[in-house]
Each structure stands twice: as C-alpha cells, then as structure tokens.
Amino acid sequence: MNRHLRKAAAAALAVGALVALSGCVGSGSAPAAGGGADSLTIWHAYAGQADKVEFMKWAMDGFKKEHPEAKIKEVSAEQSSYKTKLQTAMSTGDAPDVFYTLPGGFLDAFVKSGQVADLDDALAKDGWGDSFIPAAMDSVTFDDSTYAVPIDIDAAVVWYNKALFEKKGWTTPKTWDEFVQLSEKIAADGIVPVALGNKDSWPATFWFQYGQMRTEGSGLVTDFLNGDGKIALDAKGAEPLQTLAQKKLLPTGANGMSDQEANLLFLNGQAAMVLNGTWQIGMSADAPAGFELGYFPFPTVADGKGDQTDTLAGVAAAFAISEKAKDKKLATEFLQYMTSPDVMKKYVELRKTMVTLKGATTPDVAGPVLSGIVSDIIEPAGHLDPFYDTALPPKATTVYYSTLQGLIEGSVDAQQAVDAINEAISAGK
C-alpha cells in the first residue's frame, strides 16, 4: 500500500465519494444468505438518505433490465447497524453474495478468514482494473490480491453557512486560533458554532484525525499498519476536539445526536459550521431557501509538524463478493455494472460527490462546489491521509470510537485518549 497519496491533478479529479446499492428492506426483515445460480443477494448500508436511495433505485432498475431472468434481492440497513449485521452473518456462515464493506482492516478481517473472493482475474480483463485511480485500490488489496471494488474517496472539509457568515460579517478562519476565536464569537451570538452529531461515533473522528495530521503529520496509522515503526498518536492532536467540547462549542448532547440531526441544525441556521465529508453537498440539496453552502480547508496549527495543506481523504466504501457466492459471474457483472462510466456519472450527478472511476467526476455533472473542492483543496494537498477508522481492525475501531465519545463528554482527557487508542491499535485486533 502507498503510505501517502501524493497530489496529482489527474487523480484528484477522480477522487471521490460513494456508490450505493439501493432498495430498502424493512428493519424487521431477516438477513438473507447467498442464493444459487442466477440469483444474487446484495447487502448495503445506504438506507435512510434520500439521494442514495434515489441513485440505487435508478441503478438497480438498470441492472435488473440487463438481467431479467436473475433473482435479485437487496437488504438495506443504516450505517450504524450494518457493520454488526454483516459481522454476525459472516460469523454464522450466512454471508450475502455481494456486500458493502469498509476498506482496510474491516475488510481484511474477512479476507484473513477466507470469506471473500479475490477479483484479480476479473480486474485484469478488458482494462477494468485500470479504470480506477491506482491509489484507490490500496485499501482493498492485501498480499498483492484485490478483494473488493473501491467506490469512493471522500474528502473531509469544513463546511459553513455562507449566507449566515455574510449576514453576520464573519470571515472564514485560516488558523486554529482564529477558528476558536470565531467559534466563541458565534456562540456569544446564540448560534451553535460547530454542528456535531456523534451518536454513530464516526463524525468525531474527523476532528481527531485532522488534529493528528496538523500536529504530527499524515500517515501515522497507515505507516504503522504497513509495518513501519510503532503507533504514536500524540495528545496535542486530540486537543482540538477536546477544546471544542470544553469550551461548549458543540451542540448540547452531541454524543446522543445523530449526524442527520446535527445536519438539520446546520441547514436551518442554528449551527454555523460542520466538519464533514464531500457527501455534505448531497445532504444540503434540500436546504431551506437562502442557505448557501461554503467550504474551507481545516485550519493550520501553529508549530505543527505536519504539512498544513494535507487533506483527510480516503476510500469510504467498497463492495466485495463472498467466497460462498454460487454465481460469482453474475456477482462480478454486478460490480462491473455499478462501476461503469454511465452509472458512476449518474452517481455524481445525483449525489454531487466524487467517484473513484477515472474521468467520471467531470465539472458538468459535479457542479461548482465539488469542482471547487478539487481545485482549491484536493489538488494543492501535500498528502491525502486515509480515514483511520476504515483502516483499523474492528476491535481497535471500537476503542477509537468509544474513546472519542469519552473525550467529548469529559470522562477522559487528551493524553488518556491517545494512550487508549495507541494501545488498541498496537494490539492489532
């Protein structure tokens, strides 16, 4: 795996965000195991968001038209419950034929237990493998074999309510000190400075990881996982999140608030800023009249050791085929269809997010905000640092999540937080 993803204009235009499979099965539906020949059971974690559901309906209708004789069943879940559902299915031998997976350690755990089919032969045919950004393949490749198709590379940036900023006369900050000063001014005006809903645990990781990137540098987790030294996350990198919590610059009860609930605060003008992935563009599509989405890079940190242009970005989702799938040919055709140019461009058009397929994230379908992020933030970045939680193995990810919840509620401090996370990552589980 490449330890760092160097900037490159060509790669940047294809860096991106999410493919989904759609259709929803009610929460009471029992998980379905893989079927026989000419049948396909597909699991994904894209329930609950209208733009994803819209894309999936369009995509699945197209695939079913191409395969009218195939029996295709979708099982959809929300992200918060999906991982547990999939892990349970894998442990009981009831794996779906095709499944959504986080890249990195989450996928590798299934690979090591022999439950995932490799895609090497299929990717080598007709240029399919060459159609993806090479760096995007790193997080789904283990021991020189590729086990999933990477769908997106999300980039996390600070989003702000542009209309609100203009009305109040606020200017976007460039340094962390300026960010804190602005946030205190916003709070004094009776507005939540930073919308953060950490009920599902992952939203807080963006603040922690950017803190590490600015103070210590990029590649801390990926270098360790590649066998280069020991993990040494630093307490200074945990201080930005701790500062937001201690200064009460987050919503009350942030740990009990969902990401969607926090986003409503942002869209309704009750919160001024949010640190989120490029999927925020799609989440803002139905904002009230007068709302205008703006963005700026994560602020620089004085005396930070990291390249201050580095951007938090990495593969956010992938799709794999179970080793037990009886119709691997049909399963492979499904992955090829989902990552074809027409389908990926439709994904960008509907979700306004970047995809990993080369040449699919074009300005005409991406829109000005997404294109601006590519030129203003992605292209100038010294490194793109993949999301820690998608690279870590399951147990370490659980500790990572719970520890950051403790940092927000004040039950642990910055030093205790990094000590716990370092220990969990070092354990390699």
pLDDT in tens, 226-237: 787 899 999 999
Contacting residues for 5 by C-beta, under 8 A, at least 6 apart: 11, 135, 313, 314, 383, 384, 385, 386
pLDDT over 70 percentage in the chain: 91
Q: Are strands 98-101 and 71-76 parallel, antiparallel or unpaired?
A: unpaired
Supply the mean pLDDT for the chain.
88
Q: pTM, whole model, 2 decimals?
A: 0.70
Cβ-based neighbours of 166, under 8 Å, separated by 6 or more: none
34 confidence band (pLDDT: 50, 70, 90):
low
Q: Residue 280: beta bridge partners?
A: none
pLDDT class for 137, splitting at 50, 70, 90? confident
pLDDT digits (tens, 9 = 90+) for 280-320: 998 998 899 999 999 999 999 999 999 999 999 988 889 99
Domains of the chain: 5-152+315-384 (3.40.190.10), 155-312+386-427 (3.40.190.10)
Q: In 3-state terms, what secondary structure has residue 293?
A: strand
With 60 as the cut, is the pLDDT of residue 223 above it?
Answer: yes
> DSSP states of 213-228 as a string?
HHHT-S-HHHHHHTT-
SS (H, E, C) 148-164: CEEEEEEEEEEEEEHHH
